[in-house]
Chain A
């Protein structure tokens, strides 16, 4: 079975310090992996995606993530946090189903707090 585990439900950092949001996945197939961000009372926005090309993926707003197959991890990082980064972040895996659809499987989310 496919699953996603976000290791921290809350992460708190000071503005200007690095951000690390951790994600581990389990998938029987070669997966596609994504990070989405959700600001309060908003929909979800794609930050970045991995689809079996380069293992280091760059996304919007200075975020990046590295796919490590040996560790089954896809951690999200940013060198310097900004107040506007405060939001909830979701790690998502898309295993391929028998009907060829791509059902998204979400982690439980990590809420990022950025302190002034």
Chain B
């Protein structure tokens, strides 16, 4: 299994509180991603990173921020949690090895179940 650790694995928090989820990798992969999974939506990209201090928004980035100060860590922060952010959050990593044979498969962490009450 790819070395990806998400913490915490479960969290319950109150509306309006800040929350930070951590993704740690030991694979030295360049790209890291945060997704949320909700029934009927598959996985939707929140933010991603293509290097240290290089991040960009995904399709559902409102209400979330990220930081990547080291290759191995990618943090997702909910500045002020809302009930709509109750979800399962997955971190993923990947490494590009060129086109046309781009070996772009991603490896996923075990997920963090976040409940906002």
Interface residues of A (CB under 8 A from B): 9, 30, 32, 34, 36, 42-46, 49, 51-53, 90, 94, 96, 99-109
Contact = CB atoms under 8 A, between A and B. Distances in A.
Contacts of A99: 50, 54, 56
B115 to A, nearest CB: 15
Nearest to A105: B45
Central interface residue in B40, B44, B108, by most chain A CB within 10 Å: B108
Contacts of B102: 32, 51, 94, 96, 102
B70 interface: no
A51 B90 contact: no
Interface size class of B (residues with CB under 8 A): 20 to 34
B90 A101 contact: no
Contacts, number: 71
B42 A108 contact: yes
A106 B43 contact: yes
B92 A104 contact: yes
Given A96-B99, A102-B102, A90 B43 contact: yes
Central interface residue in A49, A96, A104, by most chain B CB within 10 Å: A104
A12 B110 CA distance: 26
